[in-house]
């Protein structure tokens, strides 16, 4: 009798595959008050949140309200920032896209006005304000694609802090283990062909190959649904013969 394979255990949702909510500090999003007026605040603290790829900053406003946001490269504790219309074009300030000049590097950009920021939130990423067209703004995303968004959407001036984070190697498997523990996934990942036949359909045999076709039907049962699921074709693409004109 076979065992439940990894995809079945992941779908069941055990402790290993659940989000580590108890390690989270707070959501990082813009306050709702800074849509139509100018607010001033101070960065009280820059924190590390396990499982998040960027630092997170605690900002205290003049009215005593506090919120967390993703800091750009170059900000520091005690720095004053401005939020809303009429804010200065300075790293760390939050402005609507309508007031940000073309060619500026921005991060944590809203897709809809007031959603708190959705685009360019990972460490070292940024979007470029490409052009203004009436009440719309064209952004060049980190993927090099261009997106048209509402000019009322807010963004932070600068590049997300933590660039170069992935350039430093882990060096030891133990450090990698603790790094992966903060994420809701299983690590290390073992290949199916390296398992026993009771643990995976591709396991078994004194060889490192599945030993049978890896294409399975869309309606296959959960314990069998691994490999190329409902694939139209597999293998290398055949080179088309050159046609003469």
CATH number at 202 reads: 4.10.950.10
pLDDT attached to residue 158: 95
| 173 vs 135: CA distance, rounded Å | 51
How many domains are there within the chain? Answer: 2
Is residue 104 domain-resident? yes
Q: Is residue 77 located within the same domain as residue 104?
A: yes
Q: Is residue 196 located within the same domain as residue 110?
A: no
Q: Is residue 118 located within the same domain as residue 149?
A: yes
* Bond preceding residue 188 cis, omega within 30 of 0: yes
Boundary of a domain, candidates 165, 194, 211: 165
- In the chain, the N- to C-terminal Cα span, in Å, equals 60
- pLDDT at 150 exceeding the cut of 70: yes
pLDDT attached to residue 133: 92
- Per-residue pLDDT averaged across 207-221, rounded? 93
Domain limits at 219? 6-16+184-229
């Amino acid at each position: 009798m076979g065992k439940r394979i990894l995809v079945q255990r992941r779908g069941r949702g055990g402790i290993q595959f659940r989000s580590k909510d108890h390690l989270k500090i707070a959501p990082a999003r813009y306050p709702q008050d800074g849509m139509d007026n100018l607010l001033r605040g101070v960065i009280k603290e820059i924190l590390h949140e396990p499982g998040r790829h960027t630092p997170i900053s605690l900002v205290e406003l003049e009215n005593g309200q506090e919120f967390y946001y993703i800091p750009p490269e170059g900000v520091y504790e005690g720095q004053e920032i401005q939020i809303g219309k009429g804010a200065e074009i300075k790293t760390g300030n939050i402005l609507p896209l309508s007031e940000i000049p073309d060619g500026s590097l921005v991060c944590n950009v809203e897709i809809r006005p007031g959603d708190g920021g959705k685009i360019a939130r990972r460490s070292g990423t940024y979007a470029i304000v490409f052009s203004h067209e009436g009440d719309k703004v064209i952004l060049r995303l980190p993927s090099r694609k261009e997106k048209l968004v509402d000019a009322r959407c807010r963004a932070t001036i600068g590049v997300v802090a933590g660039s170069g984070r992935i350039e430093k190697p882990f060096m030891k498997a133990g450090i990698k283990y603790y790094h992966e523990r903060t994420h809701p996934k299983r690590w290390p990942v073992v290949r199916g062909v390296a398992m026993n036949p009771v643990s995976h359909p591709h396991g078994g045999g004194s060889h490192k190959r599945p030993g049978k076709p890896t294409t399975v039907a869309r309606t296959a049962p959960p314990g069998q649904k691994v490999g190329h699921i409902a694939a139209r074709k597999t293998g290398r693409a055949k080179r088309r013969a050159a046609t003469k004109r």
